[in-house]
């Protein structure tokens, strides 16, 4: 396959992932690195901005990834489609949008709940029995 066709197709699939809850590209793994350590986690691909081919994800100011990306904006996203057996890795630089009205305030209550996690990720727990998990839907 011609590389430019592959790239166009990959970008379209990434874009579709932001609007199609069932798309496997909805949930890429975001990699960051700081102090010579690499970190990865799943995030929701929320919006694709066509003119600069950027992808918007949401996170908390208190998350590790936020601090890691502030320290070192170099990052990559890995998308995986198990049916097509297709992986797409995108490397880039993170920048920060603090326009709450255009982003956070546009989420519905269920979408907002996805970001309320107790205990906050990264919180040290004293033992495996110390936490009772409850899933609210």
Ligand X SMILES: Cc1cc2nc3c(=O)[nH]c(=O)nc-3n(C[C@H](O)[C@H](O)[C@H](O)COP(=O)(O)O)c2cc1C
Which positions lie near ligand X, rule CB under 6 A? 27, 39, 41-44, 57-60, 63-65, 121-122
43 vs 90, which CB is nearer to ligand X?
A: 43
Single out the residue of 45, 49, 55 nearest to residue 80, CA to CA.
45
Q: How far is the CB of 98 from ligand X (least distance, A)?
A: 15
Single out the residue of 61, 67, 75 nearest to residue 33, CA to CA.
75
Q: Helix, strand or coil for residue 39?
A: strand
Q: How far is the CB of 74 from ligand X (least distance, A)?
A: 15
51 vs 122, which CB is nearer to ligand X?
A: 122
17 vs 65, which CB is nearer to ligand X?
A: 65
Give the contacts of 4 (CB within 8 A, at least 6 positions apart).
none
Q: How far is the CB of 30 from ligand X (least distance, A)?
A: 8
């Amino acid at each position: 396959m011609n590389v430019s066709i592959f790239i166009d197709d990959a970008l379209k699939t990434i874009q579709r992932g932001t609007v199609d809850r069932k798309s496997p590209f909805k949930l890429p793994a975001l990699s960051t690195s700081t102090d010579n350590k690499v970190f990865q986690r799943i995030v929701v691909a929320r919006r694709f901005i066509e003119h600069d081919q950027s992808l918007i994800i949401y996170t908390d100011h208190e998350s590790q990834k936020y601090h890691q990306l502030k320290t070192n904006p170099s990052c990559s996203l890995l998308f995986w489609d198990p049916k097509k057996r297709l992986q797409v890795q995108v490397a880039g630089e993170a920048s920060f949008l603090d326009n709450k009205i255009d982003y956070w305030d546009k989420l519905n209550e269920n979408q907002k709940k996805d970001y309320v996690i107790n205990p906050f990720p990264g919180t040290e727990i004293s033992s495996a029995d110390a936490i009772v998990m409850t899933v609210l839907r």
